[in-house]
């Protein structure tokens, strides 16, 4: 157009028709440009600086870089039966569907892959909605909220946080809408799990064949179909992924077709799972392939220039030879652009030499317009093989590995993968591994650390602390479709606050959450995934025909919390506070599941009667063990002995007891919220929550499999692993791994537990037993002398002082700080070893104090004094063993000292007198 404008300016006498044609072209071009721009969300047209905004500009991160209609290239497979991109309908479309069909939660679904009997939908955009099952609809209603951004949400978006800006002002935003609208662009790719019903009567199982069940695909349809006992659908896997809509000259909705109100509808009984890529293969990276044109090299990359090629020669796995001697191919593993701070999320430098790739890589992606397979996510095969590098068979060594070994030498292990199996129930490593077989389900504890190193934007410790992140996940041992070997496959249920990378809460595959080149954590953070195999959690229950699943109930609660986080419970902002965080709200899901599951069993007379008639049935035995586990979990999640008010109300709301339909969220910093967070302090720090969950499950008979990738992939000299810590946990004793201050914090918070009625009864019983021994001994040695003080009220000031010194101070120092908190999983012998050491220090302190303050008459009372102080220390130790409370042992100490002072001649023998009294009867 600029070329045609030049002669217009040079020739005033131009043909009128040509001028009109040019004007028409310009007008039409302007209209098209406006329409294209109008398809971009207004708030997203110019995003504030963030990792999301930086990476979305790369062509290979945009959906139309990959032709919509593709068939799996040779040696690759679809990542799942149903794969597609979510597209957010506009407000008018929602209003129309709500008016015509009374349906508020749905989204457009651009079908990129479909089962064989639904191939006709490939390339189409269909409507994705929920099944009309009452249980499914109850879940959608509970998760739906009106979205009205609070000022903090709007301000956070301006600072680069990816809040769901397109949902602001919408009503009844449910799980599908919050997934589709969680980003400024329609860039969320998902896979559909469970039962998928095509409107019109055709029903599809999302992954039914053995091959489709590999890599976590096609896990059994649980939740909507299990009978009346499952009140929520169980999204075995959820999540939103990042495939991004183009910034310029792209329709953002579809490439080949546009949705209409009459588009086919796919109905779900589970929330979609966020995924990356359409196809995946198993390859060995051989070497980078040099390009002829230097302009084809990445312009920016970690390390010193020049950047290496992002084209790599790979060799596919050969199932016949069981080696990587199959077809060779050149694929592209694009170097991602840096974020606004110059940090690269993934490095391709020296990728072929990565120790994590020794057994090959699963590569996820699609074909670009030139037919080159372009990688969007990666997974190291070695991490998921059933071949641990180390097996621990001793219970105590297992506890030690959780405390120390799991994160030991994180920096020196950079770039590597470590896998450790802990099974105290097995005699040999072979038998320990034998329990992990096809079909074995497991719970996942996910904990990641920080991105340290020398980079200018590196993360660092704050007061000796790096919090990290925690979440749960679920998985199963499935056959690998490439090797036909059993492998570990699992998905995450992320409870994630809004951030600058666009990570969304909800269910995510490993490839999407960890291996995504654009924003996954595989290359930038050290990670610990602990796989928990415990039949009481994972196996379904059959009580004489009535089926229940704690596992499914937990998944449903985690999906609900994830949906709440995506929209900040309607505020648009999921903030991290003292009371709400990834680990606190994940723990809340466990707490609510325990309550709902227990009440569901107790309220069913058929189950209660059946268990009474079949006490030896394996289901009854497993349920009794689940009750024990539930009690232990409840004590851990409410360590103060008090249930958090928000957890309590949310549990009542979900079970129909509370009249409110509002899921309580604490997103403001208030004194009440700080106190609320302290009530559940054992899950306040991600590392502590992770480790204590692991110990508790181990104590209840679980087998633990630790998977530890440490910033794996290509090299980036500017970053280094930073392990997550307990509070003040990075400050350790010199030449040791003992985080002394962290232990002090943990033991202090543990000691302030509020005693129960039973705790007080046990305390009184031990106090009476101590008195029955101490009183005769004291009178027989004349250390006690009945001399009540009159009037007693004049001693109140002294008694109040005794409450703090010596009672509270000495019990805090010699019991709470020196003795581990009496948790069930700590071996009794280890606990009593610390207790006897503390008792010796306590008695030694009393001896030194008496020698110093009572030096005039100490020789005459040294023996009875030390005996009585030893008895008092033993009594307090026993009380602490049974109650775990500073308040009970302080009471025992205070009553003993006060009784001696007020009634038994203590005041007369006080070291504070100017002259020491004479001893024995002569002094009376």
pLDDT, tens digit, for every residue of 721-749?
A: 999 999 999 999 888 888 999 999 999 99
Q: Mean pLDDT over residues 544-557, rounded? A: 88
Residues in the chain, overall count: 924
Peptide bond into 306 cis (omega under 30): yes
DSSP bridge pairs for 77: 280
**Would you say residue 552 has pLDDT above 50?**
yes
**Would you say residue 657 has pLDDT above 50?**
no
**Would you say residue 117 has pLDDT above 70?**
yes
Provide the mean pLDDT of the chain: 83
Q: Which residue has the tokens 């005041």?
A: 907
pLDDT for position 198: 92
Q: Mean pLDDT over residues 525-541, rounded? A: 95
167 vs 45: which has the higher pLDDT: 167
Q: What percent of the chain has pLDDT over 70?
A: 81
564 vs 913: which has the higher pLDDT: 564
Pairwise CA distance, residues 720 & 51, whole Å: 19
**Would you say residue 251 has pLDDT above 50?**
no
pLDDT for position 690: 95
Q: Mean pLDDT over residues 543-556, rounded? A: 89
pLDDT tens digits, residue range 345-394? 999 999 999 999 999 999 999 999 999 999 999 999 999 999 999 999 99
pLDDT band at 43 (very low <50, low <70, confident <90, very high): very low
Nearest to 510 by CA among 499, 502, 521, 500: 521
Q: Mean pLDDT over residues 551-574, rounded? A: 86
The strand pair at 417-422 and 390-392 is best described as: parallel
pLDDT band at 826 (very low <50, low <70, confident <90, very high): confident
Stretch among 57-71, 498-512, 779-793, 882-896 having the lowest mean pLDDT? 779-793
Stretch among 151-155, 248-252, 464-468, 644-648 having the lowest mean pLDDT? 248-252
Stretch among 287-296, 461-470, 538-547 having the lowest mean pLDDT? 287-296
**Would you say residue 777 has pLDDT above 70?**
yes
**Would you say residue 785 has pLDDT above 60?**
yes
pLDDT band at 910 (very low <50, low <70, confident <90, very high): low
For residues 849 and 841, the answer to whether their CB atoms sit within 8 Å is: no
**Would you say residue 404 has pLDDT above 90?**
yes
862 vs 716: which has the higher pLDDT: 716
Q: Mean pLDDT over residues 792-806, rounded? A: 91
Q: Could you write out the DSSP letters of every residue in 721-784? A: EE---STTTT---TTS---HHHHHHHHHHHHTPPP-HHHHHHHHHHHHHHHHHHHHHHHHTTS-
pLDDT tens digits, residue range 181-192? 999 999 999 999
533 vs 226: which has the higher pLDDT: 533
Rounded to 10°, the helix 858-883/828-853 angle is 150
pLDDT for position 399: 96
Q: Please, which residues have CB within 8 angstroms of residue 653's CB and are 6 or more apart in sequence? A: 660, 661, 662, 663, 664
For residues 233 and 140, the answer to whether their CB atoms sit within 8 Å is: no
Stretch among 328-332, 462-466, 572-576, 865-869 having the lowest mean pLDDT? 572-576
Q: What percent of the chain has pLDDT over 90?
A: 62
Stretch among 13-17, 54-58, 395-399, 669-673 having the lowest mean pLDDT? 13-17
For residues 82 and 191, the answer to whether their CB atoms sit within 8 Å is: yes
pLDDT for position 293: 78
pLDDT band at 675 (very low <50, low <70, confident <90, very high): low
Stretch among 9-18, 476-485, 888-897 having the lowest mean pLDDT? 9-18
pLDDT band at 237 (very low <50, low <70, confident <90, very high): very low
pLDDT tens digits, residue range 132-150? 999 899 889 988 999 999 8
**Would you say residue 919 has pLDDT above 50?**
no
For residues 379 and 361, the answer to whether their CB atoms sit within 8 Å is: yes
pLDDT for position 199: 86
pLDDT for position 244: 30
pLDDT for position 200: 65
Phi, psi for 670 (deg, rounded to 5): -135, 160
pLDDT band at 821 (very low <50, low <70, confident <90, very high): very high
Distances in Å between the alpha carbon of 727 and those of 465, 649, 669, 673, 722?
A: 5, 29, 19, 19, 14
Q: Residue 576: how many CA atoms within 13 Å on its side-chain side? A: 16
pLDDT tens digits, residue range 846-887? 988 888 877 766 676 688 889 999 999 999 999 999 999 999
pLDDT for position 250: 32
SS3 280: strand
For residues 276 and 515, the answer to whether their CB atoms sit within 8 Å is: yes
């Amino acid at each position: 157009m600029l070329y045609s404008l030049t002669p217009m300016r040079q020739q005033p006498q131009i043909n009128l028709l040509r001028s009109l044609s040019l004007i028409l072209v310009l007008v039409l071009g302007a209209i098209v440009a406006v329409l294209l721009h109008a398809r971009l969300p207004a708030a997203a047209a110019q995003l504030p600086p963030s990792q999301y905004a930086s990476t979305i500009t790369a062509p290979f991160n945009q959906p139309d870089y990959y032709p919509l209609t593709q068939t799996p290239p040779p040696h690759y497979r679809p990542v799942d039966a149903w794969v597609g991109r979510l597209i957010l309908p506009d407000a008018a479309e929602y209003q129309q569907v709500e008016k015509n069909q009374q349906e508020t939660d749905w989204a457009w679904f651009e079908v990129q892959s479909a089962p064989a009997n639904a191939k006709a939908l490939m390339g189409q955009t269909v409507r994705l909605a929920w099944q009309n099952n009452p249980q499914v609809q109850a879940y959608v209603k509970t998760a739906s909220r009106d979205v009205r951004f609070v000022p903090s949400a709007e301000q956070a978006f301006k600072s680069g946080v990816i809040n769901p800006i397109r949902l602001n002002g919408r009503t009844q935003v449910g799980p599908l809408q919050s997934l589709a609208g969680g980003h400024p662009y329609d860039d969320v790719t998902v896979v559909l799990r469970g039962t998928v019903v095509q409107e019109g009567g055709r029903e599809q199982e999302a992954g039914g064949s053995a091959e489709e069940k590999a890599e976590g695909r096609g896990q059994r349809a649980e939740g909507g179909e299990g009978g009346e006992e499952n009140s929520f659908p169980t999204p075995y896997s959820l999540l939103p992924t990042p495939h991004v809509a183009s910034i310029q000259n792209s329709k953002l909705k579809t490439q080949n077709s546009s949705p209409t109100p009459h588009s086919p509808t796919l109905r779900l009984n589970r929330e979609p799972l966020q995924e990356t890529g359409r196809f995946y293969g198993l390859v060995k990276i051989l070497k980078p392939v040099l390009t002829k044109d230097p302009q084809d090299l990445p312009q920016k990359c970690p390390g010193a220039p020049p950047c290496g090629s992002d084209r790599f020669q790979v060799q596919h796995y050969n199932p016949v030879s069981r080696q990587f001697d199959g077809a060779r191919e050149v694929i592209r593993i694009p170097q991602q652009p840096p974020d606004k701070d110059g940090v690269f999320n993934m490095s391709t430098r020296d990728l072929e030499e990565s120790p994590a790739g020794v057994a090959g890589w699963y590569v996820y992606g699609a074909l670009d317009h030139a037919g080159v397979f372009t990688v969007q996510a990666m997974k190291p095969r070695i991490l998921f093989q059933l071949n641990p590098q180390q097996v621990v068979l001793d219970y105590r060594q297992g506890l030690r590995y959780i405390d120390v070994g799991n994160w030991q030498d994180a920096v020196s292990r950079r770039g590597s993968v470590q896998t450790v199996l802990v099974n105290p129930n097995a005699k040999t490593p072979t038998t320990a591994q034998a329990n992990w077989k096809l079909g074995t389900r497991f719970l996942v504890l996910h904990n990641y650390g920080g991105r340290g190193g020398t980079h200018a934007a590196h993360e660092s410790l704050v007061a000796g602390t790096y919090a990290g992140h925690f979440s749960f996940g679920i998985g199963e041992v499935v056959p690998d479709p490439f090797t036909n070997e059993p492998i570990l496959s699992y998905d995450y249920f992320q409870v994630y606050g809004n951030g600058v990378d666009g990570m969304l809460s909800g269910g995510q595959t490993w490839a999407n959450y960890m291996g995504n080149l654009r924003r996954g954590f595989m290359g930038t953070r050290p990670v610990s995934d602990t796989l928990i195999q415990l039949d009481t959690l994972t196996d379904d229950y059959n009580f004489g025909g009535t089926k229940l699943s704690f596992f499914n109930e937990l998944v449903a609660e985690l999906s609900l919390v994830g949906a709440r986080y995506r929209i900040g419970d309607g505020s648009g902002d999921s903030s991290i506070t003292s009371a709400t965080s990834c680990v606190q709200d994940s723990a809340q899901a466990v707490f609510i599941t325990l309550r709902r599951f227990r009440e569901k069993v107790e309220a069913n007379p058929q189950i209660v009667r059946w268990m009474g008639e079949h006490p030896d049935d394996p289901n009854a035995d497993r349920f009794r063990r689940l009750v024990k586990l539930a009690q232990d979990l409840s004590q851990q999640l409410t360590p103060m002995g008090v249930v958090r008010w928000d957890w309590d109300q949310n549990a009542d709301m979900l079970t129909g007891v509370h009249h409110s339909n509002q899921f309580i969220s604490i997103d403001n910093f208030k004194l009440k919220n700080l106190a609320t967070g302290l009530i559940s302090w054992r899950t306040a720090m991600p590392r502590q929550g992770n480790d204590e969950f692991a110990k508790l499950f181990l104590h209840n008979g679980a087998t633990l499999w630790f998977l530890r990738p440490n910033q794996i992939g290509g090299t980036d000299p500017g970053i280094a692993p930073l392990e997550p810590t307990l509070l003040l946990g990075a400050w350790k004793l010199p030449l040791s791994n003992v985080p002394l201050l962290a232990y002090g914090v943990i033991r202090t918070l543990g000691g302030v537990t509020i005693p129960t009625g039973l705790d007080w009864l046990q305390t009184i019983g031990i106090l009476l037993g101590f008195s029955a021994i101490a009183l005769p001994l004291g009178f027989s040695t004349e250390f006690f002398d009945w001399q009540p003080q009159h009037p007693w009220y004049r001693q109140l000031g002294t008694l109040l002082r005794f409450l703090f010194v010596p009672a509270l101070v000495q019990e805090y120092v010699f019991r709470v700080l020196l003795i581990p908190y009496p948790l069930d999983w700590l071996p009794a012998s280890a606990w009593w070893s610390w207790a006897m050491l503390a008792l010796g220090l306590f008695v030694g302190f009393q001896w030194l104090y008496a020698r110093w303050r009572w030096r005039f008459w100490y020789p005459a009372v040294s023996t009875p004094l030390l005996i009585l102080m030893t008895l008092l220390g033993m009594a307090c130790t026993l009380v602490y063993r049974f109650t775990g409370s500073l308040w009970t042992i302080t009471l025992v100490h205070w009553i003993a000292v006060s009784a001696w002072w007020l009634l038994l001649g203590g005041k007369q023998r006080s070291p504070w007198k100017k002259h020491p009294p004479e001893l024995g009867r002569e002094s009376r």
